[in-house]
Structure 1
Amino acid sequence: MAKSGLPRKTKEQKERARNLLEDLYKHYPNPHCELDHENPFQLLIATILSAQCTDVRVNKVTPALFEAYPTPEAMAEASPEDLEELVRTTGFYKNKAKALKEASTTIVEEFEGEVPQTMAELLTLRGAARKTANVVLGNAFNKNIGVVVDTHVKRLSNRFGLTREKKNTDKIEKHLMALFPQESWTDLSHLMIHHGRNACKARISAPPDHPICIKYGKKCECWKMRGQK
């Protein structure tokens, strides 16, 4: 491990990663968070709701939710039943409603009604694990503290040979942090998610046909699984 606590990467590995990043930017020149939000509180709530749910579904739910409870103070006072009804279609609605109420209460009582801006403080909020904290820090506060690792990022990280870790998202995140410049970490997640949704999908039915997959995936499992050499 390097002194920073990240895995050691060779010069060649880092150069390959930077080339991949440049190519992703060429194909997806406007990387952005697809959760609709107007402020850090809305982004936090939307990200909590996005667990095991699509961004499209969350964006359909949050307008009514934020109209009814626009601030941490208002949401902290909301009845569990009202919150459950408003977020029902996002799945696991009882747990999510409880997380929204308790996270809002903590923001009011511990952080003077403002969404905290550090990883350690965000992790004290119910429903906010490291992935959620990275989303909020990177997109609401422009702080590149880590890399969001969702199912798309996990899948592409393996297919592009950026890591051999297949399950542990913390380890995958560290490998990506060691490979890519820190200022790119937030964009990197968006770029890989866009590519995963639009081109390099989970279902494998044909040889890779996207230029990025062809260029960077030849030594990775997606090619082997598709019968390529």
Structure 2
Amino acid sequence: VRAKLAEGGFDTVTFIHSETSTGVLNDIAAISKVVKSFPDTMLIVDTVSSLSTVPVDMDANGIDVMLAGVQKALALPPGLAVFAVSEAGMERAKGNPNRGYYFDFVEFAKNAAVNNTPSTPSISIIYGLQYILGEIAKEGFAARQARHAKTNAMIAAWGAKHGFELFAPEGFRSTALTCFKTPEGFDLSGFIKNLKTKHNFLINGGYGKIKGTTFRISNMGNETEATMQELIDAMDDVLGAA
């Protein structure tokens, strides 16, 4: 990142904190430290599957725009995005006459000041967000993050027992989901099909360059040790019958 930024010509760095197609948790502190050494460069971070599952300190990491959809870590139906903008990010937006309307932070701030939105919002999902934020407050961030770490460890242990290698390298693994490599000769499509047919569980067989050679298991949102154990038992049953 530093070498590329040193070439010049960049005003923004964007990256995904917890990357859900690979199960990689990027080092937000290390990347932000590099970006902050280039004062005119903004930092935008997608936290769709890390928001509330791991600590994310926007101010300490100098994040200018932190955003997320509500459909992953917050366990709501898709249809709403949430974001926060730093003072520097807001000033940059104010100075851009071609910032458009849909992503106009200045317009959002103006409306937020009077408890409104620039256009018709997804009201039902906003009520859902209000509920889930209340549940997060009851559980507490530390407990929520510990729950994700524990359920994630359950899945990692299950994979190790069956000889599935983790896709993400040590030290860079998300606690919101796990991506496994499939060993040579493993019938992934049959495993996914039988899991759905026999137990009504649906897991993803990867996409893009790693489609068919990986599969992912999510433990994010409202999953508990009990719900993850139910999935583990179902997967054991399918593998045992294979």
Structure-2-length-normalised TM-score? 0.26
Structure-1-length-normalised TM-score? 0.28
Bigger share in helix: 1
Bigger share in strand: 2
Structure label with greater radius of gyration: 2
